[in-house]
Every structure is written in structure tokens, then in C-alpha cells.
Amino acid sequence: MASPSDARSDSVGLQRFGLGSALGARAELRVSARDRLLAEIDRRVLPQPAGVPFSGAAEIGSALYAFEDREKIEREARRAAETKVAAAPPVPGPSVPATSQNQMAQPNPANAKPANAKPVNEPALPYRTYRDEVLARTRLALEAETGLGERMVQFWSNHFCIGATKSNMTRIMAGAYEREAIRPHVFGRFEDMLVAAESHPAMLDFLDNRLSIGPSSPAGKRRGRGLNENLAREILELHTLGVSGGYAQVDVTNLARIITGWTVVGREAVLGFPGSFAFNAGLHEPGAPAMLGRHYGQPGKAQGLAAFSDLANHPATADFIALKLVRHFVADDPPAALVRDLSAEFRRTQGDLAAVSRALITSNSAWKAEPTKIRSPQEFLIAAFRALGRKPDFGQIAGPLNAMGQPFWQPSGPNGYPDTNDAWASPEGIKTRIDVAAGWGRQAAGTVPDPRALTEDILGPLLSAETRQAVARADSKPQALALLLMSPEFQRR
Amino acid sequence: MVDDDDDCERMTPSRRAVLGAAGALFAWSFVPTFAYAAAGARDPRFLLVVLRGALDGLSAVPPIGDPDYAALRDDIALTRDGTDAALPLDGFFYLHPAMPNLARLYASGQAAIVHAAATGYRERSHFDGQDVLESGQAGPGHTASGWLNRLLASLPAGEGISRKGVLGVGVVPPLVVRGDAPILGWAPPRMDRAGTDLIQRLEDLYGQRDPGLARALAQAKMTEEIAQRRGMGSEIKGGGGPDSTDGMKRIAEGAAALVGADDGPRIAALAFEGWDTHANEGGAKGRLAQLLGGLDGALAAFEQGLKPVWKDTVVMVVTEFGRTARVNGTVGTDHGTGTVAFLVGGAVKGGRMIVDWPGLKPEQLYEKRDLKPTTDIRAVAKGVVSDLFGLSGPVLAEKVFPGSGGIGPMAGLVG
């Protein structure tokens, strides 16, 4: 029989490492919570989202290029028609953003409708695909037992983030990127995830490497174009060593040289399926550039792979990943001993993320720490939907996440969403959460028989007398549910 | 509170007047509020706009008069004539054609432009660069509090500016406002607001169980009350984000309404995003032009929304660092060093460029790649806040910008 304090830490553990318990499965889940979490790690393989419109990047690429070609034809036809009507040169108006930057590819209702107009309210292909990917991913998170695997997907997806607002390509591929580059590796090897992320078309587009050309490569000499160091810098700073990991500007520039030629196949399909990854030797900078004091003289793509292998196995990478994991799961101010232990496990196993995850879950300092961290908006949404037994609906996911500042796959920069209380437990952040919780309370009031019973069930040993009383004294069912969702016990983990 | 004698000798007349205001501040807890409007006293407003992603200062304020400019900038160089001509400033520097409002404010003496400026940070990470800019520390790694929060905490307590808190716009407040002094939060509304009864019950619950959440909610309520009195309803929801023209305008309008209120905060920070123009940056038209147009619209919205107090207002626009002097392989620019900062407002002694121009020849560039910084942004910030709020040199050097004793406040920025 578990003692009361064990029951409490089991409950904390489930919220800290998982997604909160799903409706109707709470009491059982709390029995041997830790064993259930560990069993999920041992399975190593996570389920893949079902019902997505495209299997992967290669399939998406053809559809995207076809979509863009169609848009272009329609645009030109429109312009031709307008010119004919106006019979005068167009007046220069406010400039229009480049279509590839910072805007969602939604149909513009202000424009004249082409002959094959899309049905009203049906967004354009990139946004439609994004929507279906968000729904499929959310469904998995709602169905998961403990949700540890899904939490790890969120963590790594944010670590190697791409931004859907950058271009049509990053928006349409955001879900596929996570399915192909992140999800298969969360309990696998870090190095495999690193290579999968940096070679994914979505990343090569997001951080501009598909445009980077070796100045002395055949294409560079012909076109007089050159390097773009964006991806190389973020690989060192954000994906592997961390900003204080001991690299210099010359390492950034040389890594950029090393990965010239890592690109995305264009619509002409010269090097493979349109929209898939390719190494293009014609763009690759010749030579053996040095990174962190070591020269890389391997031919072609192998040069980048060798550099990535060294970065994945660098001690600074182990420290950086360990710090981020502990800060995410345990505390804003991560206990130094726990960070050291995880870093040591990372190095001992050459970045086996199952071993590192196991070390995290089995650590007593991680298990017993007081719940101080506020759930991120995405965690909050999933936990609330699980508690209320809600079905995923895109509007009900995207609207609140936008308002709370954490829509799926669209952080404002390559450093991803923040991970500390001062970001999420801000005055405006809490206020917005209350607005969101009030809305969910209203919507779920009809399906929850008794908010008091639900509160006991959801919070179990965590429930305080004050929260119990606040829920019991609420003046309506929606208000009671909002109080449950906004209670400190539900908000912190 | 008052400067030491050394500082007084260099004091400008305008600065003397401001110290009068500082004295009034000090006495606020003891005198009735009419001291507020005492002759010569100023009830200042200070808004800090952070451009995240590193603004290309050489495109925003092109030195077209520099003989090396056009060649470095190649396809994205701006020109002084033609259909998309840059707007004239002082004959050497020009302003990007997407910024007519700023050009007008500059011409009327209400805007000054600092060029070849940077913080003390000399690496090229956005995130460390922003941390340094916002924490006000000499280097990265200190993210416990921001310099505007410590500025507020350094002002005298009582009924004054410090009680009104610092406004951080956005669901996630910018680091520059975080810290122990009261923070107000506001973001353009996107959801229906919860009822006041639910808020009251949560206040009670947090009061009993969770001091952190209690504090956040109390501060959110303060802003909400001001917003309601200013008639800022939740009628307009949705709209673009802080990297869109419409989003920047809405954010600026909201911040202006709160800061302009009698009982509103006097100090605010907000952030606009999307300035990381590695590829296809564009020249007179294009991606950066679009963003600069958004910023220009936001400046106009500040001027409009703060009209009654505009004469006492300084808006300072800063970014973490600049971009490479030479256009890169993908018709954009990579992370660099020196860039521009803008000072805008009726309180600014404007109509001038503030610059010690380093030149653009290879040996004049920082590490042969970036515009060399010759002005420390901290000197500018210190000059503005010491003029506006009467903070002394030592307080600025120890509390607000720790370790900046060697960087004096720039004099005469506020008139």
C-alpha cells in the first residue's frame, strides 16, 4: 500500500512528466506512476499521428509546388484582367510582403475570385495541411496514457524548432517535420535526431541553408552568390553546444561552408523528389574547413555528417541538453547535481535519449521536487482537454493557444518558446489563461455531471482544502470548472 | 537622489529643470497631488521599443553620402533620387523611404537618430544580444531582471511613478520589464474576457494558496482597470502579430492609451519582431521595407495616442545588434554589430544625427565585416532616463546599468 506522501509524489510526477490524467483513468494511473512512465520509455517507439493529408516531405513538396504554380497562374490572370479593365498602369500602393515571408497562405477575400474558386472558409493548401497536422498531433496527446512521450516530442520539437510563419514550405511541412525528424528519435539517439532535423527540408528552408552556396563551388563561381550562415550559427548555439559552448565566429562560418549543398529539391526534380532533401555537390564549397580545431576533409555530404557526429558527442552538448531538460521538467533554477547526472548519462551512452530520460524519471530529486513550474499554454490546453474529456477541434485549439502565446510550431525565433515562469506566469499571461478557462468551463458545463467529483478525481492527493471549497462554492458549473482549471494545483507541476 | 557636484557643472538648463521635477517626485508622499503639476515639473513618459532579430541600420538609415556604401550594398542599396528615393536627413545620411512619419518628426525637431551604435555585446547571438540589451548588464547570462524594472525600483517610493509600475506589452513580458518592481501587462485582446466574479474568486484562492499567481493577477487587474477607464474595449479581436503592420499599430495604440492615462504607467516596453533579414531583405521595397513601414505607423500611433503628453514623451527604439555591412550570398545580411537607435517624441531635442561615423572601408569595419560601433546604447539610454527621471550617475551605473561607470550619460538628449 502506498503511503500518502507517495501518492502525492506520484500525482506530481504524472503532471510533471506527463500530460495529466485522461478522463476516467485517474485512480489506476496513479498506482505505480513511475513504472508506467518508465515502461513508456522502454517501448522506445511512439505512435505516429493518423489521418494526416501527406505521408512525408517528399509527397508534400510536389503538392506545394503545384499549389504555388497554380497560385501564380491565377495571380497573373487576375493582373492581366485588371490591366485590361483599368487600361492604365497600376497605381503604386502600399508594398506587399514577399509571399514567402511571414504570412499565412490564406486566400485573400479582397481579390477577385478565379474561376475555380475554393469553397468559402476553406483555407489554402499550406494552412489546411497545418490544420490537419495540428489535429492529428493533438489527438495523440489526448489518447496517450501518461503522455511522457508526447511531452518529449514537445520538448524536442521546441529544441529543434522551425517556424510555420516563415514560408509556405515551413507551414505545410511543420507537422511532417515533427513526424519525420523528431518523433522517431525522442527515445533514440541524439545524433540521429540532429541529422534528421538539420537535413529536413523544413529546417533547410526555415534557416535559409537551401539558399547558401559555397563561394568557390561551381554554382558560386557561376552566379557570384555565397554563404548564408544562419543555420550553421543556430546549430552551434541552439541545437548542440549552446551559446557558451566554446565556439567562435570562424567555427560558424566554417560549419556554414561544411553544410553548403544541404538543400531542398526544386520543382524540376533534378536530384530527387521535389521538396525532398538532397545533397547538391554543385553548391558545396571545396576544401577541408576547420571547426573547433578539427579539419573536415570528407567528400560531399559525409563532411557534414562527420561534423554533426562530433557536435553530438561534444561534452558541451551533453551539458546543454541536460540543463534544458531539467529546466523544462523540474525547475526554472535547475538543481546542479541533477544536471550533472543527466549530462554524465548523455556522455556515457553517446546521447541515448532513452537512457537520459530514464535517469531523469528515476532521480529522486526530480521526482520529489515541489511543483513550482507553471504548465506551458500547450500543456495547459492538453491537460484541460484530457480532464474535461473534450474532442479536438481546430478553432478551439488554435484560438486559445494564439491568445496565450504558444500556437503549435510558430515561435517567433529559432530559439523556440520560452520555458520559465517569468514568461508564462506573467500578469497578462495569467489573465488570458483565466479568459480561456472561463470559455472552456462554459463549453464543457453540459457534459460534466459534477465539477466537485471531477475536481477530486483530477487532482486527487494534490487537492487543497481551499481549492475544494472554491469549487464547491462556485455560483455555476462553468465557474466551478474554470476554478478547477485555474487552481494552483492544476496550473503548477 | 541629486547628482554630485561634478555632474552639476555639466548640467544643461533643461537638466536643471528636470531635477526640479525629481525633487517633486521625492516629496510626493508628503504633499498633495498638485505638486504633480508644479511649474517646471515634468510628468514624463518613456516607451522602449525593442526590434527583435537585429535591424539592419545601414538600410534603415543609409549613409548614402559614404563613397563605400553603394558597392557594399549592391542589389539592396538605396539611392538619393529616382522613384523610390531615400528621404533626406542631413545630406550624408538618409532615411528609408518606408518611414515618412519619422522623416516628418525628424524635420520638425522631434526625432534624433543615433548611428553606429551598439550595446557592450560583441558576439552575434540574437538571444544573448537581446538579453544584454534588455538586462542592461555588461554581458550575457544575467536574466533575473531588466533595466527598466530596476530603473523603476530606483525611483523614490510613494505615490509616484514607481507605484504605477512598468508596462510590458505582450502575453510574455519582455525581459527589460521583468524584476521586483510592479509589472503591468497588456496585449491586444484575442479572447472574450472572463467575468469579474470569477477573477475575484481566483484572487481569493491565490491569496490563500499561491503568492506568485496572486501577484500576477493583481497586476493584471490594475492594467485592466486603466484600460476600461480609457475605453479600451475588447471589441477588436484577432489581427496580425508583432511582425505585421497592423499588429505593430494595434500594439502601439494600446500602449499609448495606457501610458497616456493619468493613472497609467509612465514607463513601458514593447517588442516588434521579424527583423532577421538573412535572405531577400529587399531595398526600397520588400521585406524590410514592409517592417519599417510598420514601425513608422507605430510611431505615428504613439504621437496620436499620446498627444496631450507628447511634449513630455520619449520613445526609444533599439535592437540587439546590426547586420553585416556587405550583402550576403542570398541578397540579405547576416548578424553584425553597429546599427541605429531612434529617439522620438516631443521631449526629444531632435532634428539631428548623433553619430561619430567610423566609415565603411574594410579596415574601418568591425572585424572587417560589420559597421563599427562608436556609440554605446547605454550612454544614450542613460542620458534619456537621467534627463527624464532625474536619476543620478551613480545610481545609473550601479543599479540600472551595472558596471557601466565608464560610460557617462549622453547630455542634452531631452529638451
Count other C-beta atoms under 10 Å from residue A39's C-beta.
13
Beta bridge pairs of residue B94 = B88
Q: Using CA atoms, how far apart are residues A323 and A167, in angstroms rounded to an integer? A: 31
Per-residue confidence band for A412, with pLDDT thresholds at 50, 70 and 90: confident
Looking at B195-331, which runs of residues are DSSP E strands? Answer: 267-273, 313-319
Instruction: Give me the percent of chain B exceeding a pLDDT of 70.
Output: 88
Taking CB atoms and an 8 Å limit, are A483 and B367 in contact across chains?
A: no
Angle subtended at Cα A280 by Cα A274 and Cα A285, rounded to the nearest 5 degrees? 150
Contacts (Cβ under 8 Å, ≥6 apart) of B81:
none
Shortest distance between the Cα of A438 and any Cα of chain B, in A, equals 6
What mean pLDDT is reported for chain A?
Answer: 90
What mean pLDDT is reported for chain B?
Answer: 87
How do residues A47-71 score in pLDDT, each as one tens digit?
A: 999 989 898 888 999 999 999 999 8
| SS3 call for B46 | strand
- Which grid cell is A405? 502565446
What are the domain boundaries of chain A? Answer: 4-30+374-491, 32-81+124-205, 207-312, 315-368
Partner-chain residue, chosen from B178, B194, B278, that has the shortest CB–CB distance to A434: B194
Taking CB atoms and an 8 Å limit, are B329 and A228 in contact across chains?
A: yes
Partner-chain residue, chosen from B124, B210, B328, that has the shortest CB–CB distance to A227: B328
B123: nearest CA partner in chain A: A249
In this prediction, residue A286 carries a pLDDT of: 97
pLDDT at B95 over 80: yes
Average pLDDT over residues A388-408: 92
Range with lowest mean pLDDT among A369-373, A433-437, B4-8, B182-186 = B4-8
Interface test with B, best of A430, A433, A493 (most B CBs within 10 A): A430
Q: Regarding predicted confidence, which is higher, A391 or B318? A: B318
Q: Which residues of chain B have a CB within 8 Å of the CB of A405?
A: 170-172
Q: Using CA atoms, how far apart are residues A362 and A35, in angstroms rounded to an integer? A: 10
Count other C-beta atoms under 10 Å from residue A165's C-beta.
22
Q: Is the Cβ–Cβ distance between A322 and A250 less than 8 Å?
A: no
pLDDT at B15 over 70: no
- Which grid cell is B268? 513601458
Q: Using CA atoms, how far apart are residues B24 and B34, in angstroms rounded to an integer? A: 10
Partner-chain residue, chosen from A98, A229, A486, that has the shortest CB–CB distance to B334: A229
Angstrom CA distances, B235 to A223, A396, B193, B224, B232, stand at: 52, 20, 11, 14, 8
Taking CB atoms and an 8 Å limit, are B293 and A94 in contact across chains?
A: yes
Task: Label each residue of chain A as H, E or C.
Answer: CCCHHHHHHHHHHHHHHCCCCCCCCHHHHHCCHHHHHHHHHHHCCCCCCCCCCCCCHHHHHHHHHHHHHHHHHHHHHHHHHHHHHHCCCCCCCCCCCCCCCCCCCCCCCCCCCCCCCCCCCCCCHHHHHHHHHHHHHHHHHHHCCCCHHHHHHHHHHHHCCCCCCCCHHHHHHHHHHHHHHHHHHCCCEHHHHHHHHHCCHHHHHHCCHHHCCCCCCHHHHHHCCCCCCHHHHHHHHHHCCCCCCCCCHHHHHHHHHHCCCEEECCCCCCCCCCCCEEECHHHCCCCCCEECCEECCCCCHHHHHHHHHHHHCCHHHHHHHHHHHHHHHCCCCCCHHHHHHHHHHHHHCCCEHHHHHHHHHHCHHHHHCCCCCECCHHHHHHHHHHHHCCCCCHHHHHHHHHHHCCCCCCCCCCCCCCCCHHHHCCHHHHHHHHHHHHHHHHHHCCCCCCHHHHHHHHHHHHCCHHHHHHHHCCCCHHHHHHHHHHCHHHHEC
- For residue B222, the surrounding DSSP H or E stretch is helix B211-229
In this prediction, residue A30 carries a pLDDT of: 67
pLDDT at A113 over 50: no
Q: Considering only CA atoms, which of A470, A461, A330, A491 is closest in space to residue A10?
A: A461
pLDDT at A375 over 80: yes
Per-residue confidence band for A5, with pLDDT thresholds at 50, 70 and 90: low
* Winning range, highest mean pLDDT, from A418-432, B152-166, B216-230: A418-432
Partner-chain residue, chosen from B123, B185, B328, that has the shortest CB–CB distance to A426: B185
Per-residue confidence band for B159, with pLDDT thresholds at 50, 70 and 90: low
Range with lowest mean pLDDT among A87-101, A275-289, B186-200 = A87-101
Q: Using CA atoms, how far apart are residues A424 and A435, in angstroms rounded to an integer? A: 15
- Report, in this order, helix, strand and coil percent for chain B, each rounded to 5: 40, 15, 45
- Which grid cell is A173? 511541412
Taking CB atoms and an 8 Å limit, are B279 and A429 in contact across chains?
A: no
A&B contacts, CB < 8 Å = 197
Taking CB atoms and an 8 Å limit, are A424 and B194 in contact across chains?
A: no
Q: Which residues of chain B have a CB within 8 Å of the CB of A483?
A: 198, 201-202, 205
Q: Using CA atoms, how far apart are residues A82 and A110, in angstroms rounded to an integer? A: 14
How do residues A179-230 score in pLDDT, each as one tens digit?
A: 999 999 999 999 999 999 999 999 999 999 999 999 999 999 998 778 999 9
Phi, psi of B273 (to 5 degrees): -120, 170
Q: Which residues of chain B have a CB within 8 Å of the CB of A208?
A: 278-279, 330, 332
Q: Which residues of chain B have a CB within 8 Å of the CB of A415?
A: 126-127
Taking CB atoms and an 8 Å limit, are A228 and B279 in contact across chains?
A: yes
Taking CB atoms and an 8 Å limit, are A428 and B223 in contact across chains?
A: yes
Instruction: Give me the percent of chain B exceeding a pLDDT of 90.
Output: 68
DSSP string, B143-174: -S--HHHHHHHHS--SSSHHHH-EEEESSS--
Q: Regarding predicted confidence, which is higher, A472 or B237? A: A472
Q: Is the Cβ–Cβ distance between A236 and A251 less than 8 Å?
A: yes
A97: nearest CA partner in chain B: B287
Interface test with B, best of A99, A333, A422, A424 (most B CBs within 10 A): A422
pLDDT at A148 over 80: yes
Long-range contacts formed by A88-96: CB under 8 A, 24+ apart = A92/B83, A94/B293, A95/B98, A95/B285, A95/B286, A95/B289, A95/B290, A95/B293, A96/B290
Partner-chain residue, chosen from B171, B209, B210, that has the shortest CB–CB distance to A432: B171
